[in-house]
A and B are shown apart, each in its own frame.
Chain A
């Protein structure tokens, strides 16, 4: 699970970093894919990784043994995916709505804001995992 989490975190970080220059220039198809994925799931995935949703540690305490842990983790996986997508889209909506009402419409700035929030959550999540592991030991 830890390896999976790290892989996901690196992919999300790469998306967040790549989206910033691509919001100004680049091939149209690549811009749509990278910025679209960031808006669809970037900040939310970072949030879910920070909260450790979808991992055995976040699952119900009733689980007992490795199999039960795996089962409990699977039961929160749909919720983790839901929150990752919905919170990413909601954040993009809130940022863009704020820009419209502030009369400061600048899509690259919105992408920058989403990227920074994503990276911040990823960093906090990365720092939190060793801390909680140390606490557990």
Chain B
């Protein structure tokens, strides 16, 4: 638990070197690179830096891209061999004649082979660790291949083979049982974009405010990135690699909604690239300081974004933060409930399943998402789950916060639920502390 507490700090520190290595390949000079990394941290509100596979896979992805752009930049084929390759090369040169040369020169063949094996290892570890990140690597590597930024045509193909191969062969049981979930909405761009956003712009007024500020911050970053790309194009300085890297993850949009979280994740994948473009609006290409006017403008932009990020990143903390009392309550529940018991949470927002993941049958009465016009929670839902074998029901403070913030139930409904259902026949209160309460609901079967 101590490691989990400090994980966001540790993961962000670990991300610093890969972000900087990548930014050095995307920008013309070190000050721009540092400013890009600074902007990344200021606008990275998605909150995927906790102790989780996605944080680890993101670290591998950024390192992989930085490594490939550093060691394997260039065209994968002779650019004059046919009309298509000539067209690609001319288009790229017309758009952005620069290929930044900071960092490594082409490594010797033996070192290149080792770096290639290392890159394949990063892809493999990414595939084994997280279900979405490897799919984000495919379009990023593909657009770099088509724009002369990656001279290894086998890598995008390998990335695709590994990602789909893992899904079909290694995760076969999941794949067989969730085909509709995986591919049911394939191609439904509107549902994956507007549908997902409108679903999130709901709930209580404070929550909606947080969502709006998040949308505004994303819009500001993308607007600055577009302006940076335009200005860099006019100044004939490096921009195309960053622009392609920022846009490539968006090719995943037709795939599936990823539980409504796809846009959040795509924003994160594109942010290291978009941040490097955004700083080009205020950072000159020449070496040396930006001058006091630009420095003041940078400071103002950073201050606004930092202030906004306090809201976008921590605005939902009341439901996302679990207290020690809640964790103690869950531990008491684990110590009491026999293996195989049904454990119910009123709202899907409980600090559990960090152990004994497969030992219990976990259920939830309500998902932690906005539910316009939601009715009150009834005792019948819990009773029907517990009807045969009995069940344990846990209601915590953060569940109540989530229900109120997202308007999953009418305001204060979980307190009413506890007061009324808690005294029903067959319900007995097992534990209670400042973090919540646990009930046992008697079943008709073995009384467990």
A interface with B by C-beta (< 8 Å) = 47, 50-51, 53, 58-62, 75-76, 78-79, 81-83, 85-87, 89-91, 93-94, 97, 101
Contact = CB atoms under 8 A, between A and B. Distances in A.
B125 A93 contact: yes
26 contacts: A47-B114, A47-B118, A50-B114, A51-B107, A51-B111, A60-B101, A60-B102, A61-B105, A75-B30, A76-B103, A76-B104, A78-B17, A79-B104, A81-B21, A82-B21, A83-B63, A83-B118, A86-B18, A86-B60, A89-B56, A90-B60, A90-B121, A90-B126, A91-B125, A93-B128, A94-B121
A133 B11 CA distance: 38
A59 B105 CA distance: 6
B105 A90 contact: no
Contact of A79 (B21, B56, B101, B128): B21
Contacts of B16: 78
A83 B102 CA distance: 17
B107 to A, nearest CB: 7
Contacts of B232: none
A53 B111 CA distance: 10
Closest 8 pairs between A and B when the two form their complex, measured CB to CB: A90-B125, A86-B63, A81-B17, A79-B21, A78-B21, A82-B18, A78-B20, A93-B125
A38 B105 CA distance: 29
B18 A75 contact: no
A32 to B, nearest CB: 9
A47 to B, nearest CB: 7
A83 B60 CA distance: 9
Interface in B80-121: 101-105, 107, 111, 114-115, 118, 121
Contacts of B66: 78-79, 82
Contacts of B107: 51, 58
Nearest to A36: B3
A129 to B, nearest CB: 14
B227 interface: no
A66 to B, nearest CB: 18
A59 B104 contact: yes
Contacts of B244: none
B35 interface: no
- Which of A47, A61, A78 neighbours the largest number of chain B CB atoms within 10 Å of its CB? A78
Interface residues of B, number: 35
A104 B24 CA distance: 42
Nearest to A85: B14
Contacts, number: 90
Nearest to B170: A101
Contacts of A51: 107, 111, 114-115
Nearest to A60: B105
Contacts of A87: 118, 121-122
A81 B74 CA distance: 23
Nearest to B71: A79
A81 B18 CA distance: 8
B242 to A, nearest CB: 16
Contacts of A76: 70, 103-104
Nearest to B120: A90
A82 B121 contact: no
- Which of A47, A59, A85 neighbours the largest number of chain B CB atoms within 10 Å of its CB? A85
A93 B57 CA distance: 11
Contacts of B102: 60, 75
Contacts of B14: 85
B155 interface: no
- Which of A50, A82, A101 neighbours the largest number of chain B CB atoms within 10 Å of its CB? A82
Contacts of B129: 93
A86 B66 CA distance: 11
Interface string B227-271: 000000000000000000000000000000000000000000000
Given A60-B104, A75-B30, A89-B56, A82 B17 contact: yes
A62 B103 CA distance: 10
A76 B104 CA distance: 7
Contacts of A85: 14, 17, 59, 63
Contact of B121 (A50, A59, A60, A91): A91
A89 B103 contact: no
B438 interface: no
Contacts of A61: 105
- Which of A51, A86, A91 neighbours the largest number of chain B CB atoms within 10 Å of its CB? A86
A93 B124 CA distance: 9
Contacts of A50: 114
Nearest to B69: A79
Contacts of A94: 121, 124-125, 128
B67 interface: yes
